[in-house]
Chain A
Amino acid sequence: MPKIKNVKELQSVRNKLLNDRKKFTATLTVCGGTGCRASRSRAVIDALRKELSGQGLEEKVYLRATGCHGFCEQGPIAVIEPGNIFYCHVSPDDAREIIAKTVLQHKIIKRLLYIDPVTGKSIRTEAQIPFYRAQDRQLLSQNKQVDPRSIEDYIATGGYTALAKTLSGILPDKVIHEVKASGLRGRGGGGFPTGRKWAECREAPGDEKYVICNADEGDPGAYMDRCVLEGNPHLVLEGMMIGAWAVGARQGYIYVRKEYPLALEHARIAVQQAKAFGLLGENILGTSFSFDVEIARGGGAFVCGESTALMASIEGKVGEPRPKDVHTVIDGLWHKPTLLNNVETWANVPAILLNGSARFAAKGSKDSKGTKIIALTGKVKNTGLVEVAMGTSLYTVVFDIGGGAANGKPVKAIQTGGPSGGCLPADKFDIPLDFDVLAEAGSMIGSGGMVVMDEDTCMVDVAKYFLTFLQDESCGKCVPCRLGVDRMLEIITDITEGRGKPEQIGLLEELGQTVSQTALCGLGKTAANPVLSTLRYFREEYETHVNQKQCPAGVCQRLITYAIDPEKCTCCGVCRLACPHQAVRGEKKQIHAIDPVQCQKCGICKSECKFDAIQVN
Chain B
Amino acid sequence: MLQYVTLKIDGAEFRAAKGRSVLDVAIEYGICIPHLCHIPNLSDIGACRLCIVEHVVNGRSKITTSCTLLVQEGMVIKSNTEKIKKLRHNLAELLVAQAPNSRAIQDIAVRCGVKKVRYPFRNNNCVLCGRCVRVCNELFHANAIGFVGRGKNRRVAPPFGVSSDLCKRCRTCIDLCPMTIIPCDGPMKTGKEYLCGKCESQLLFADEYPDTCVWCQLGEGFQCGRY
Does B bind A?
A: yes
Q: Is A487 an interface residue (CB 8 A)?
A: yes
Q: Is B98 an interface residue (CB 8 A)?
A: yes
Given A318-B147, A472-B151, decide whether A518 and B49 contact each other with a Cβ distance below 8 A.
yes
Which of A303, A478, A511 touches B90 (beta carbons < 8 Å)? A511
Verify A518–B150 contact, CB threshold 8 A.
no
Verify A475–B49 contact, CB threshold 8 A.
no
Given A472-B151, A476-B149, A482-B128, decide whether A517 and B46 contact each other with a Cβ distance below 8 A.
no
Which of A318, A325, A472 touches B64 (beta carbons < 8 Å)? A325
Instruction: List B contacts of A487 (CB < 8 A).
Output: 94, 97, 119
Verify A482–B49 contact, CB threshold 8 A.
no
Q: Is B48 an interface residue (CB 8 A)?
A: yes
Q: How far is the CA of A323 from the CA of B21 in the complex (A)?
A: 13
Verify A323–B65 contact, CB threshold 8 A.
yes
Q: How far is the CA of A99 from the CA of B153 in the complex (A)?
A: 56
Q: How far is the CB of B117 from chain A (nearest CB, A)?
A: 11
Residue of B nearest to A518 (CB): B49
Instruction: List B contacts of A478 (CB < 8 A).
Output: 46-49
Give chain B interface residues in 60-94, CB to chain A under 8 Å: 63-65, 68-70, 86-87, 90-91, 94
Q: How far is the CA of A478 from the CA of B38 in the complex (A)?
A: 13
Q: Is B45 an interface residue (CB 8 A)?
A: yes
Interface size on B, residues (CB 8 A): 33
Verify A518–B151 contact, CB threshold 8 A.
no
Instruction: List A contacts of B68 (CB < 8 A).
Output: 323, 325
Instruction: List B contacts of A483 (CB < 8 A).
Output: 94-95, 97-98
Q: How far is the CA of A514 from the CA of B85 in the complex (A)?
A: 11
Q: Is B52 an interface residue (CB 8 A)?
A: yes
Given A484-B94, A518-B52, decide whether A476 and B154 contact each other with a Cβ distance below 8 A.
yes
Give chain A interface residues in 84-122, CB to chain B under 8 Å: none
Given A323-B46, A323-B68, decide whether A479 and B95 contact each other with a Cβ distance below 8 A.
yes
Instruction: List B contacts of A477 (CB < 8 A).
Output: 45, 47, 128, 154
Interface size on A, as a range, is: 20 to 34
Verify A479–B151 contact, CB threshold 8 A.
no
Instruction: List B contacts of A322 (CB < 8 A).
Output: 45-46
Q: How far is the CB of A513 from chain B (nearest CB, A)?
A: 8
Verify A486–B152 contact, CB threshold 8 A.
yes
* 20 further A-B pairs in the complex, CB-CB below 8 A; given A478-B49, A518-B52: A325-B64, A325-B70, A473-B150, A474-B151, A475-B150, A476-B150, A476-B153, A476-B154, A477-B128, A477-B154, A479-B49, A479-B94, A479-B127, A480-B91, A480-B94, A483-B94, A487-B119, A517-B87, A518-B63, A518-B87
Instruction: Provide 21 A-B residue pairs closer than 8 Å at the C-beta atoms, listed in order of the A residue.
Output: A318-B147, A323-B45, A471-B151, A472-B151, A475-B150, A476-B128, A476-B150, A477-B45, A478-B46, A479-B48, A480-B94, A482-B151, A483-B94, A483-B98, A486-B152, A487-B119, A514-B86, A514-B90, A517-B63, A520-B47, A520-B49
